[in-house]
Structure 1
Amino acid sequence: MELKGKTAVVTGSSSGIGFELCGLLTDKGTSVYGLSRRRTPLEHPGFTWLETDVTSQEETDRAFDTVLNKHEQVDLLVNNAGFGLFDSIETIDPEAWNRLIATNLTAPFLCTRRVVPGMKAIRRGTIVNVASIAGKRGFRNGSAYCASKFGLNGFSEALVEELREEGIRVCTINPGSTGTAFFEHAGIEAKKLMKTEDVARVILSMIELPDDMLPDQVVVRPL
């Protein structure tokens, strides 16, 4: 995808991978809208922050209404918002489970449904879902998080088959251990952590591949 002059929406833009990716995209000449609950501290003429709880259909629809009132369609959607919940099955709070599923799985659905019609109209577009290596294999005390990321991978794989004939690419990246505040709460000691900016660059390289190439189910992990 040629990014100059395109319109992108990135969820979870306030920090980590989402924040780094917003910066990279704006540097490419993309009009970027960051959706997050906390303010995104990015000062760039090509960036707009929209305070949004992406687990809320009302707030998500309002954010996309704002974007689509200014642009004919969204060319790029990056479903990056997410958080972790790591505990034993006996002690996971059901409300916390529901909040995690809403953030990690339902939010990508709510966002994707708003961009697909415009992408279909021009037979072009890219959707990137940021999953996790935890969506490929389970680990101790990770039942909630793994369930959400396995679900996101399944959502992505189904959308590949649904949308590829419409000219729409659905790409998934499954990062391993990454140096974010999010990872610190996992209770897992990693020998090595990837930098958030490096993972963001991998996502950028996926997006910038020619429109007739589909970087599907990319896994990156520390060496």
Structure 2
Amino acid sequence: MGQDRLKRAFGDDGPGLDVDFRAMEQIATAAARGLTEGTLELLLQQQADKLSTEQPCPACGTLCPTTPHTRPLTADGAEVEQTERKAHCPDCRRDFFPLRTALGLDEHGYSSSVLERIVTAAARFASFRDATFAVQMSRVGISESQVRRLAHKVGAELVAERDRKAVEHRRRQLASRTGVVPEVVGGGRWGRIRTRAAGRPLVSTKPRTRRTRSPVWPR
């Protein structure tokens, strides 16, 4: 695929003596981009072909028929047509895409690496305009409004995940280190503490004290 692009650009004999390095660089970049796009589209097609024609709904588990579906997807250094399968659950009245979870994709139309780049730029730069310019410099076609929308959406998702983990942490019950927790009945003589477990007689516990010897003075 890359060789065909090079032949179309320079012919079978390669570049002439009047071709500068910038032109070679542009052709090589386009060839690499075409190779990446072709490879990704082939892999996505092969994966989609392995999916069965019925898939369970992620919400209710109802088996739903799937149909072929394509959409544009922005990847790292490539713009591809993603081949996937789409299903509709009549009980939940919602569409779902079984392959996106395994691929780490969502409805945004960007790969996880590109989405991470967009959100990182939005967090590090002082304005969405500067963040958009930085992302565009990495050969990702995106507008300032898209950067703003994605940053707000991903930020809200991260906050919701943080709050969910905080609630789970507060609700977590620590396991008891002892099978039976003793019941303190009362104090005894000389600092003894009397305890009693369920169905057991009283037990006296004497706290440990450190003994010190009296100094012996020479006579």
TM-score, scaled relative to structure 2: 0.26
Higher relative contact order (CA 8 A, sep 6+): 1
- Normalised by the length of structure 1, the TM-score is 0.26
Q: Looking at CA atoms only, which structure, 1 or 2, has the larger radius of gyration?
A: 2
